[in-house]
A and B are shown apart, each in its own frame.
Chain A
């Protein structure tokens, strides 16, 4: 048994988060080892360290008998570590052959590109891997699976000892998956070792020989896939007990079932499929699922930001389907987007201007009333407890938690009755998280309709009256009461033996 990669006692800390905690890892020559864990368990951090794009705080990496404290990207490539990312990184304008040899293009004696040689090499490589694609085709003409296969061929074009596959089957159909697995199996026969990251446990059982489970940056264990059950893996991913930082009193006394928001049959081809649910006033409805399962896309459609094929929004019996964000705001909907910096805040403008923005957009005033605006936004920011010496400070100077409060203040200031929170506590420290939870709870008790998207499962469990789980664009189930637990959320999110859970 020959080890091709050994990582010993790797640590990596980000402000407030231990991304990797004394992590050990061993990869045997010729094996496919799966790496599983929840969002934020540390899989990506580890991969980046191995690929050389991130330096660990401490620890050792041993490859080919050589010991490294960290790797530079070029070292990693020279050692034969090749990564195939979830998003293909190919140049659409170039041919398959040119893409495969992009960083190592053959040249003739004049130093010019030798296209003939490039094509010949690509042909023989593709043939060897059993991939049937014309090397002359432009990459933009390829299907998704073909692009994936070309990315893998590209990885093999250099010295490839260790292949890292990050969610390789995301958006692949069954046939595409079979082709991919076939290529992986051919590779391992030639002595290639594979680190395989996936949320799809079914696949992991099909392709991997061993599986390593990560939880909060720590290794829970490495098992031979044939000797472990899916259920054991799921429980290992969840761990013993999630630390709760907030306790919500969920007796549902505020829920007003007469008046509710109905989300009816939202669809957009390839993104969201026939999603229907309803949320009562005073209720917090959670939306769980994996990243990319269509939750954010659904929220954007509800808010009138993105196109949709179908879908109606009914509030207290009235059709309020918004045509645009402006229309949504007029109808009392507020959307706290997933990425505050991307489309939430005016980072270099004062807090005051951020808070009053939506109300201004909603009104038909021509002139500003600066004095009144200042008094009222100050009141609002005090109520929300934005910690700042002055509301004339620019938002950039605030911490993540306070920035999130600014966004919340802006929607409340405009009088939003229906609030969609998309990952409300991402990148926020523990103290501010508690405050945000308290505010959301408070808003529910005031009779607002709240939809909360989160990838932080303990957060969904703590906060939500009901939790809908999305998977591949579909709302697969709605969990209620004691069924809202981490195990159920995870199983439905990953599509693990659904019948068994219901027993």
Chain B
């Protein structure tokens, strides 16, 4: 009996290790191929470049990853980023007017802080709405957030009327600035958020409860955990991280369309699932989220640098998701 237990244990250990190991190997392999094809790939500036490219994705994915650990899903994150981007740019434009016009001093001083505050406030509210609807409706969160994905997108389109809000260089530092002319600010945020995610999942009571609720919601409830509060909080965290992502994204792009954030919904899901966060909840950590994001970013960058048709990216990412999930399924059935 004990022998049997040990064998099983060894098996599960080996797999957990290999889940992250496979990703690291894949990342190294891809880097080698890309370097062989085009040595520019491995240059420091390109590597920094990759990190800058995945910063927004990584921030969105951290929220989605923690939510997935708790057994819920949010596919409205892309629309959330789009909507908040539009609101952010609109607020700045309304406060500062067009570049040639004169505006009062207080407006110049308050425009950016006010717009940032509004963005986070909207992020909080969107997360709250998502979370409360999910727990009250008792429907699957995929369906609820599918509905919100369309609704938020619609609101963003209504707000812009299809046009874009330009920022005329008034809000550039966050997305384009570099610390010491060297490390892009978004990269610092990415690293910071990944670290915070790690700390929450590993050292916070809240993080432990995310795993508990994700593994077995009923058992968590019987054990005295307020499961609904955990779920709603996780959605609020997603909303706040989407707000941060919107700030960085819009700052970098310099304008906001009603669709600017849309691709992040599926990319973020793809990243965390490839990384090894279980869609059934209860499994995954900050490292898996980070590696998934890096892999997705790397595929995009490597393909461009190797001069492959960039549209191949989605095909490759799609296939990798299918393979990763199949391996995961296979291993859990054992």
Q: Which residues of A contact B (CB under 8 A)?
A: 303, 305, 325-326, 328-330, 335, 337, 342-349, 353, 357-358, 360-363, 365-368, 370, 387-390, 393-394, 396-399, 410
Contacts and interface: CB of A to CB of B under 8 A. Distances in A.
A249 B177 CA distance: 77
A363 B206 CA distance: 12
B208 interface: yes
Given A305-B222, A337-B222, A361-B223, A346 B212 contact: yes
Interface string B191-216: 00000000000111110110110011
From B9, B212, B223, B225, residue with most partner A Cβ within 10 Å: B223
Contacts of A325: 221-224
Given A343-B219, A357-B208, 7 more contacts: A303-B222, A346-B211, A346-B219, A349-B282, A357-B225, A361-B224, A368-B208
B14 to A, nearest CB: 13
Contacts of B40: none
B283 interface: yes
B12 interface: yes
B224 A397 contact: no
12 contacts: A305-B221, A325-B223, A326-B225, A346-B220, A348-B282, A353-B208, A357-B208, A360-B205, A361-B224, A365-B205, A397-B8, A399-B5
Contacts of B208: 353, 357, 360, 368
Contacts of A363: 205
Contacts of B5: 387-389, 393, 397-399
A410 B222 contact: no
B6 interface: yes
Contacts of B222: 303, 305, 325, 335, 337, 343-344
B333 interface: no
A329 to B, nearest CB: 4
Contact of A367 (B204, B216, B282): B204
Nearest to B13: A393
Given A346-B282, A358-B224, A370-B203, A389 B212 contact: no
B215 A326 contact: no
A339 to B, nearest CB: 9
Contacts of B224: 325-326, 328-330, 358, 361-362
A486 B91 CA distance: 78
B315 interface: no
Contacts of B220: 346, 357
B1 interface: yes
Interface residues of B, number: 29
Interface of B: 1-2, 5-6, 8-9, 12, 202-206, 208-209, 211-212, 215-216, 218-226, 282-283
B205 A353 contact: no
A353 B201 CA distance: 13
- 8 closest A-B pairs by beta carbon, nearest first, are A361-B224, A343-B218, A329-B224, A346-B215, A326-B224, A397-B8, A357-B223, A358-B223
Contacts of B212: 346, 349, 353, 357
Contacts of B6: 389
Nearest to A411: B223
A368 B204 CA distance: 6
B288 to A, nearest CB: 15
A99 to B, nearest CB: 27
Contacts of A398: 5
B204 A348 contact: no
B205 A366 contact: yes
B282 A399 contact: no
A342 B211 CA distance: 16
A102 to B, nearest CB: 27
Given A358-B224, A387-B2, A397-B12, A366 B204 contact: yes
Contacts of B221: 305, 325, 343
A367 B220 CA distance: 18
A337 B221 CA distance: 12
A348 B223 contact: no
B205 A367 contact: yes
A361 B212 CA distance: 11
A394 B223 CA distance: 18
Nearest to B221: A325
Contacts of A396: 12
Given A325-B224, A361-B225, A394-B12, A368 B219 contact: no
A368 B205 contact: yes
From A330, A335, A349, A396, residue with most partner B Cβ within 10 Å: A349
A366 B207 CA distance: 10
A393 B5 CA distance: 10
A335 to B, nearest CB: 7
A353 B204 contact: no
Nearest to B7: A397
A367 B9 contact: no
Given A343-B216, A397-B5, A353 B12 contact: no
From A361, A368, A398, residue with most partner B Cβ within 10 Å: A361
Given A348-B283, A353-B211, A394-B12, A368 B203 contact: yes
Contacts of B8: 397
A345 B216 CA distance: 7
A348 B205 contact: no
B277 to A, nearest CB: 13
A410 B216 CA distance: 15
A348 B203 contact: no
A215 B211 CA distance: 44
Contacts of A365: 205
A192 B38 CA distance: 82
A79 B2 CA distance: 47
Given A358-B224, A360-B205, A345 B12 contact: no
B160 to A, nearest CB: 41
From B215, B218, B220, B222, residue with most partner A Cβ within 10 Å: B222
B230 to A, nearest CB: 11
A94 B225 CA distance: 40
Contact of B219 (A326, A329, A345): A345
Nearest to A365: B205
A189 B74 CA distance: 61
A113 to B, nearest CB: 30
A199 B19 CA distance: 52
B9 A393 contact: yes
Contacts of A330: 224
B215 A348 contact: yes
Contacts of B282: 346, 348-349
A305 B205 CA distance: 23
A344 B217 CA distance: 10
Contacts of A328: 224
A500 B283 CA distance: 59
Contacts of A337: 222
Nearest to B11: A397
A410 B215 CA distance: 16
A398 B1 CA distance: 10
